[in-house]
Protein backbone atom coordinates (compact mmCIF):
# COMPACT_ATOMS: atom_id res chain seq x y z
CA UNK A 1 0.00 0.00 0.00
CA UNK A 2 2.84 2.39 0.85
CA UNK A 3 4.44 1.63 -2.50
CA UNK A 4 1.23 2.45 -4.35
CA UNK A 5 0.66 5.71 -2.46
CA UNK A 6 4.23 6.85 -3.09
CA UNK A 7 4.22 5.62 -6.69
CA UNK A 8 6.99 3.23 -5.75
CA UNK A 9 7.56 -0.21 -7.20
CA UNK A 10 5.49 -2.58 -5.14
CA UNK A 11 7.48 -5.70 -5.95
CA UNK A 12 10.79 -4.03 -5.12
CA UNK A 13 9.51 -2.84 -1.78
CA UNK A 14 8.20 -6.30 -1.07
CA UNK A 15 11.58 -7.76 -1.99
CA UNK A 16 13.38 -5.49 0.46
CA UNK A 17 10.81 -6.18 3.19
CA UNK A 18 10.79 -9.95 2.76
CA UNK A 19 14.57 -10.27 2.59
CA UNK A 20 14.81 -8.11 5.70
CA UNK A 21 12.32 -10.33 7.51
CA UNK A 22 14.24 -13.40 6.35
CA UNK A 23 17.48 -11.99 7.73
CA UNK A 24 15.73 -11.26 11.02
CA UNK A 25 14.45 -14.85 11.11
CA UNK A 26 17.99 -16.19 10.83
CA UNK A 27 19.06 -14.39 14.00
CA UNK A 28 15.65 -14.81 15.61
CA UNK A 29 15.88 -18.59 15.41
CA UNK A 30 19.33 -18.48 16.95
CA UNK A 31 17.76 -16.50 19.78
CA UNK A 32 15.06 -19.17 20.10
CA UNK A 33 17.81 -21.78 20.41
CA UNK A 34 19.37 -19.85 23.27
CA UNK A 35 16.15 -19.47 25.29
CA UNK A 36 14.58 -22.90 24.54
CA UNK A 37 11.75 -21.48 22.44
CA UNK A 38 10.32 -23.36 19.42
CA UNK A 39 12.37 -26.42 20.40
CA UNK A 40 12.51 -29.89 18.93
CA UNK A 41 11.67 -33.33 20.28
CA UNK A 42 13.95 -35.69 22.26
CA UNK A 43 16.80 -37.18 20.24
CA UNK A 44 20.07 -39.00 20.85
CA UNK A 45 22.06 -35.86 20.13
CA UNK A 46 21.15 -32.25 20.54
CA UNK A 47 20.82 -29.37 22.95
CA UNK A 48 20.08 -29.73 26.68
CA UNK A 49 18.05 -27.14 28.59
CA UNK A 50 18.18 -26.75 32.35
CA UNK A 51 16.38 -25.29 35.35
CA UNK A 52 16.81 -21.68 34.22
CA UNK A 53 14.92 -22.47 31.02
CA UNK A 54 12.17 -24.22 33.01
CA UNK A 55 11.78 -21.08 35.11
CA UNK A 56 11.33 -19.13 31.88
CA UNK A 57 8.57 -21.49 30.70
CA UNK A 58 10.33 -24.54 29.24
CA UNK A 59 8.42 -27.82 29.72
CA UNK A 60 9.79 -29.43 32.92
CA UNK A 61 9.44 -32.94 31.48
CA UNK A 62 12.32 -32.32 29.12
CA UNK A 63 14.71 -30.58 31.49
CA UNK A 64 18.14 -32.17 31.13
CA UNK A 65 17.16 -34.19 28.04
CA UNK A 66 18.73 -33.88 24.61
CA UNK A 67 16.45 -32.26 22.06
CA UNK A 68 16.82 -31.98 18.32
CA UNK A 69 18.12 -28.41 17.68
CA UNK A 70 15.43 -27.56 15.16
CA UNK A 71 15.91 -23.82 15.73
CA UNK A 72 19.41 -24.01 14.22
CA UNK A 73 18.10 -25.99 11.25
CA UNK A 74 15.52 -23.28 10.63
CA UNK A 75 18.14 -20.56 10.99
CA UNK A 76 20.36 -22.28 8.43
CA UNK A 77 17.44 -22.86 6.09
CA UNK A 78 16.33 -19.25 6.32
CA UNK A 79 19.91 -18.16 5.62
CA UNK A 80 20.05 -20.28 2.47
CA UNK A 81 16.72 -18.84 1.32
CA UNK A 82 17.91 -15.26 1.92
CA UNK A 83 20.94 -15.94 -0.27
CA UNK A 84 18.70 -17.53 -2.88
CA UNK A 85 16.40 -14.50 -2.80
CA UNK A 86 19.38 -12.21 -3.40
CA UNK A 87 20.52 -14.33 -6.34
CA UNK A 88 17.04 -14.19 -7.88
CA UNK A 89 16.48 -10.51 -7.17
CA UNK A 90 17.39 -9.22 -10.64
CA UNK A 91 13.73 -9.56 -11.56
CA UNK A 92 11.39 -7.50 -9.32
CA UNK A 93 9.31 -9.77 -7.10
CA UNK A 94 11.43 -12.87 -7.58
CA UNK A 95 13.14 -12.49 -4.22
CA UNK A 96 9.79 -12.26 -2.46
CA UNK A 97 8.40 -15.37 -4.12
CA UNK A 98 11.60 -17.41 -3.74
CA UNK A 99 11.81 -16.74 -0.03
CA UNK A 100 8.07 -16.95 0.64
CA UNK A 101 7.61 -20.22 -1.21
CA UNK A 102 10.81 -21.77 0.09
CA UNK A 103 10.21 -20.81 3.70
CA UNK A 104 6.62 -22.09 3.62
CA UNK A 105 7.72 -25.50 2.32
CA UNK A 106 10.60 -25.70 4.81
CA UNK A 107 8.44 -24.63 7.73
CA UNK A 108 5.70 -27.10 6.82
CA UNK A 109 8.22 -29.95 6.86
CA UNK A 110 10.06 -28.93 10.01
CA UNK A 111 6.83 -28.56 11.96
CA UNK A 112 6.80 -32.35 12.12
CA UNK A 113 9.90 -32.21 14.34
CA UNK A 114 8.69 -29.50 16.71
CA UNK A 115 8.24 -30.52 20.33
CA UNK A 116 6.87 -27.44 22.10
CA UNK A 117 3.49 -28.47 23.48
CA UNK A 118 1.49 -25.24 23.73
CA UNK A 119 0.60 -24.94 20.05
CA UNK A 120 -2.82 -25.25 18.38
CA UNK A 121 -3.64 -28.06 15.96
CA UNK A 122 -6.67 -28.63 13.71
CA UNK A 123 -7.34 -32.03 12.10
CA UNK A 124 -3.83 -33.15 12.94
CA UNK A 125 -2.16 -30.17 11.23
CA UNK A 126 -0.54 -27.35 13.22
CA UNK A 127 -1.57 -23.73 12.94
CA UNK A 128 1.78 -22.92 11.32
CA UNK A 129 1.25 -25.62 8.69
CA UNK A 130 -2.15 -24.19 7.79
CA UNK A 131 -0.49 -20.79 7.40
CA UNK A 132 2.13 -22.39 5.14
CA UNK A 133 -0.65 -23.68 2.90
CA UNK A 134 -2.04 -20.18 2.58
CA UNK A 135 1.42 -18.78 1.83
CA UNK A 136 2.15 -21.15 -1.05
CA UNK A 137 -1.27 -20.42 -2.55
CA UNK A 138 -0.63 -16.68 -2.44
CA UNK A 139 2.82 -17.12 -3.98
CA UNK A 140 1.48 -19.39 -6.73
CA UNK A 141 -1.33 -16.99 -7.60
CA UNK A 142 0.96 -13.95 -7.56
CA UNK A 143 3.78 -15.64 -9.50
CA UNK A 144 2.46 -18.63 -11.49
CA UNK A 145 5.55 -20.58 -12.44
CA UNK A 146 6.07 -24.32 -12.58
CA UNK A 147 8.02 -24.33 -9.31
CA UNK A 148 5.52 -22.20 -7.34
CA UNK A 149 2.67 -24.39 -8.59
CA UNK A 150 4.67 -27.53 -7.77
CA UNK A 151 5.36 -26.26 -4.24
CA UNK A 152 1.68 -25.47 -3.78
CA UNK A 153 0.65 -28.93 -4.96
CA UNK A 154 3.29 -30.59 -2.77
CA UNK A 155 2.19 -28.80 0.39
CA UNK A 156 -1.50 -29.48 -0.28
CA UNK A 157 -0.90 -33.17 -0.90
CA UNK A 158 1.30 -33.40 2.19
CA UNK A 159 -1.38 -31.71 4.31
CA UNK A 160 -3.99 -34.10 2.91
CA UNK A 161 -1.85 -37.05 3.93
CA UNK A 162 -1.42 -35.66 7.45
CA UNK A 163 -5.15 -35.09 7.80
CA UNK A 164 -5.95 -38.59 6.53
CA UNK A 165 -3.44 -40.08 8.96
CA UNK A 166 -4.62 -38.11 11.95
CA UNK A 167 -6.07 -41.19 13.73
CA UNK A 168 -2.63 -42.81 13.59
CA UNK A 169 -0.77 -39.63 14.65
CA UNK A 170 -2.97 -37.84 17.14
CA UNK A 171 -1.81 -39.81 20.18
CA UNK A 172 1.72 -38.48 19.65
CA UNK A 173 1.01 -34.86 18.77
CA UNK A 174 2.41 -32.39 21.35
CA UNK A 175 -1.00 -31.28 22.73
CA UNK A 176 -1.94 -34.86 23.63
CA UNK A 177 1.48 -35.57 25.12
CA UNK A 178 1.00 -32.49 27.33
CA UNK A 179 -2.48 -33.72 28.29
CA UNK A 180 -1.03 -37.08 29.29
CA UNK A 181 1.69 -35.33 31.28
CA UNK A 182 -0.95 -33.40 33.21
CA UNK A 183 -2.87 -36.62 33.85
CA UNK A 184 0.34 -38.11 35.27
CA UNK A 185 0.70 -35.13 37.58
CA UNK A 186 -2.84 -35.56 38.89
CA UNK A 187 -2.35 -39.29 39.43
CA UNK A 188 0.99 -38.79 41.19
CA UNK A 189 -0.51 -36.18 43.53
CA UNK A 190 -3.47 -38.42 44.42
CA UNK A 191 -2.75 -40.59 47.51
CA UNK A 192 -5.00 -43.30 46.06
CA UNK A 193 -3.43 -42.96 42.58
CA UNK A 194 -6.85 -42.90 40.94
CA UNK A 195 -7.01 -43.54 37.22
CA UNK A 196 -7.19 -40.56 34.88
CA UNK A 197 -8.01 -40.45 31.18
CA UNK A 198 -7.09 -38.10 28.34
CA UNK A 199 -9.49 -36.77 25.72
CA UNK A 200 -8.31 -39.51 23.34
CA UNK A 201 -9.12 -42.23 25.86
CA UNK A 202 -5.62 -43.00 27.14
CA UNK A 203 -6.07 -44.04 30.76
CA UNK A 204 -3.23 -43.89 33.27
CA UNK A 205 -2.74 -44.96 36.87
CA UNK A 206 0.27 -45.98 38.94
CA UNK A 207 1.51 -47.79 42.01
CA UNK A 208 4.87 -48.35 43.66
CA UNK A 209 6.61 -51.69 43.21
CA UNK A 210 8.51 -53.47 46.02
CA UNK A 211 11.84 -52.48 44.44
CA UNK A 212 10.90 -48.79 44.64
CA UNK A 213 10.10 -48.26 40.99
CA UNK A 214 6.84 -46.73 39.85
CA UNK A 215 4.58 -48.85 37.68
CA UNK A 216 2.64 -46.55 35.37
CA UNK A 217 -0.28 -48.48 33.84
CA UNK A 218 -1.51 -47.23 30.47
CA UNK A 219 -4.41 -48.46 28.36
CA UNK A 220 -6.66 -47.10 25.63
CA UNK A 221 -9.45 -48.13 23.26
CA UNK A 222 -7.93 -45.90 20.56
CA UNK A 223 -7.48 -47.69 17.20
CA UNK A 224 -3.81 -46.70 17.06
CA UNK A 225 -3.08 -47.99 20.56
CA UNK A 226 -0.47 -50.71 20.95
CA UNK A 227 2.57 -51.57 23.04
CA UNK A 228 4.67 -49.68 20.48
CA UNK A 229 2.39 -46.63 20.84
CA UNK A 230 2.76 -46.75 24.62
CA UNK A 231 6.53 -46.98 24.27
CA UNK A 232 6.57 -43.96 21.97
CA UNK A 233 4.58 -41.92 24.49
CA UNK A 234 6.81 -43.14 27.31
CA UNK A 235 9.89 -41.82 25.46
CA UNK A 236 8.36 -38.36 25.59
CA UNK A 237 7.50 -38.59 29.28
CA UNK A 238 10.46 -40.36 30.88
CA UNK A 239 14.19 -40.41 30.06
CA UNK A 240 14.55 -44.05 31.16
CA UNK A 241 11.91 -46.75 31.48
CA UNK A 242 11.06 -50.39 30.90
CA UNK A 243 8.03 -51.51 28.91
CA UNK A 244 6.09 -54.60 29.99
CA UNK A 245 2.97 -55.75 28.17
CA UNK A 246 0.08 -56.35 30.53
CA UNK A 247 -1.90 -59.56 30.80
CA UNK A 248 -5.08 -57.84 29.72
CA UNK A 249 -5.29 -56.76 26.05
CA UNK A 250 -4.31 -53.14 25.53
CA UNK A 251 -2.72 -52.73 28.97
CA UNK A 252 0.94 -51.64 29.07
CA UNK A 253 3.15 -51.17 32.13
CA UNK A 254 5.84 -48.50 32.05
CA UNK A 255 8.33 -49.08 34.86
CA UNK A 256 10.17 -45.93 35.91
CA UNK A 257 12.66 -45.20 38.67
CA UNK A 258 10.91 -43.34 41.48
CA UNK A 259 12.87 -40.04 41.23
CA UNK A 260 11.99 -39.77 37.54
CA UNK A 261 8.30 -40.41 38.04
CA UNK A 262 7.40 -36.90 39.16
CA UNK A 263 6.31 -34.72 36.22
Please report the pLDDT score of residue 172 as a whole number. 96
Q: Is the pLDDT of residue 13 over 80?
A: yes
Enter the pTM of the model: 0.88
Q: Which of 103, 74, 99 is nearest to 84 (CA)?
A: 99
For residue 190, name the pLDDT band (cuts at 50, 70, 90): confident
What architecture is domain 172-261? Answer: 2-Layer Sandwich (3.30)
Per the CB < 8 A criterion, the answer to whether 105 and 151 are in contact is yes
Alpha-helical regions (H) of the chain: 2-5, 10-35, 51-55, 70-87, 94-110, 127-142, 146-164, 166-169, 174-189, 227-237, 258-261
- Domain segments of the chain as ranges: 2-164, 172-261
Please report the pLDDT score of residue 119 as a whole number. 85
Q: Is the pLDDT of residue 124 over 70?
A: yes
Give 218's contacts (C-beta < 8 A, 6+ positions apart): 202, 203, 204, 230, 233, 251, 252, 253, 254
What is the per-residue pLDDT across 40-77, written as a single tens digit (0 to 9) for each? 999 989 999 999 999 988 999 999 999 999 999 999 99
For residue 1, name the pLDDT band (cuts at 50, 70, 90): very low
Q: Is the pLDDT of residue 160 over 50?
A: yes
For residue 7, name the pLDDT band (cuts at 50, 70, 90): very low
What is the per-residue pLDDT across 136-159, written as a single tens digit (0 to 9) for each? 999 999 999 999 999 999 999 999
Amino acid sequence: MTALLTHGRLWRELDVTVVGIGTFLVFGRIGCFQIACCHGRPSRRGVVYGAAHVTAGFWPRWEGRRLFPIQLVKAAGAGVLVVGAFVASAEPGAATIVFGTGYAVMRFALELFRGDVLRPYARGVSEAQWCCRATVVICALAWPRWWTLAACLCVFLWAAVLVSRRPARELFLPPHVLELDRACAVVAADPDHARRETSLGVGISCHRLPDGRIDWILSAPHPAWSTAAAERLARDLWPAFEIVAGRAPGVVHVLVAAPAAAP
